[in-house]
Structure 1
Amino acid sequence: MPRFFVDIPLLQPGELVLPAGAARHVQVLRLQPGDALTLFDGSGPEWRAEVTAMGRSEVRVNLIDAEQPQRELARAVTLAVVMPANDRMDFLVEKATELGAVALQPLVGERSVLRLAGERADKKRTHWQGVAIAAAEQSGRTVPLRVEPVQTLPAWLAGLPAPADDEWRGLLSPRAAQPLAGLAPSRALFLSGPEGGLSDAEEAAARARGFVAITLGPRVLRADTAPLAVLSWLALS
Structure 2
Amino acid sequence: MRVSRLYVAMPLVLHETIELDEDSAHYLRTVLRLKKTQTITLFNGEGGEYQGKVVEVSRKRVLIELLSFTNRSVESGLHVILGLGVSRGDRMDFSVQKSVELGIAKITPLQTERCVVQLKAEKGQNKVRHWQKIAQHATEQSGRTFRPTVEAVENIEAWVKQQTGLKLFLDPFATRTLKQLQPEGRQVTLLAGPEGGFSEQEREMAKQAGFIPVQMGPRILRTETAALTAITAVQVLWGDLGREDAE
Q: Same fold (TM over 0.5)?
A: yes
- Name stretches of at least 5 consecutive residues in structure 1 with no aligned partner: none
Q: Distance in 2 between matches of 1:125 and 1:140?
A: 23
Residues 87 and 116, structure 2, Cα contact 8 Å, conserved in 1? yes
**Equivalent position of 1:183 in the other structure:** 182
- Secondary structure (helix, strand or coil) at the match of 1:224 reads helix
Give per-residue Cα distances to partners, 1:126-148, cap 9 Å, x unaligned: 00000000111111111222111
The equivalent of 2:4 in structure 1 is 2
Q: Which ranges of structure 2 fall in alignment gaps of 5 or more residues?
A: 238-247
How far is 1:25 from its partner?
A: 2.3
- Name which of structure 1's ranges 180-189 and 140-149 shifts more when overlaid on structure 2: 180-189
TM-score (norm 2): 0.89
Q: What's the counterpart of residue 240 of structure 2?
A: none
1:110 maps to which residue?
113
Q: Aligned with 2:29: secondary structure? A: helix
Find the counterpart in structure 2 of residue 27 from structure 1: 29
Paired residue type of 2:88? A
Partner of 1:135: 138
Measure, in 2, the Cα distance between the counterparts of 1:189 and 1:7.
27
Q: Does 2:52 correspond to 1:49?
A: yes
In the alignment, structure 1 residue 72 sits paired with structure 2 residue 75: yes
- Residues 63-89 of structure 1, C-alpha deviation per residue, up to 9 Å, x if partnerless? 112222221112010110111222211
Which is further off, 125-134 or 66-75?
Answer: 66-75
User: In the TM superposition, what are the counterparts of 1:81-230 in structure 2 within 5 Å?
Assistant: 81-158=84-161, 160=162, 163=164, 167-181=165-179, 183-185=182-184, 186-230=186-230
Secondary structure in structure 2 of the residue aligned to 1:87: helix
Q: What letter corresponds to residue 13 of structure 1 in structure 2? A: H
Which segment drifts farther, 96-105 or 180-189? 180-189
Matching residue's letter, 2:182? L
CA distance, structure 2, for counterparts of residue 152 and residue 169 of structure 1: 17
Aligned position for 1:12: 14
Shift of 1:13: 2.7
**Partner SS state of residue 225, structure 1:** helix
Between the aligned partners of 1:129 and 1:114, the Cα distance in structure 2 is 18
The 8 Å contact of residues 174 and 216 in structure 1, kept in 2 or not, is answered as: yes
Match of 2:241 in 1: none
- What is the SS of the residue equivalent to 1:101? coil
- Give the C-alpha shift of residue 93 in structure 1: 0.5
CA distance in 2, matches of 1:214, 1:24: 45
Task: Give the counterpart letter for 1:103 in structure 2.
Answer: K
Give 3-state SS (helix, strand or coil) of 2:224's partner. coil
Report if aligned partners of 2:80, 2:188 keep a CA contact under 8 Å in 1: yes
C-alpha distance in 2 between matches for 1:117 and 1:44: 34
Q: Give me the whole-angstrom Cα distance separating, in 2, the residues matched to 1:213 and 1:120.
A: 32
Give the residue type in structure 1 aligned to 2:130.
H
The structure-2 alpha-carbon separation of the partners of 1:25 and 1:86, relative to structure 1 and needing over 3 Å to count, comes to closer
State the AA in 2 paired with 1:169: K
- Report percent identity of matched pairs: 34
Deviation sequence 1:158-217 (CA, Å, 0-9, x none):
4x16x3xxx211111112100112634311100111112111111111111111111111
Give 1:33 deviation, angstroms: 2.4
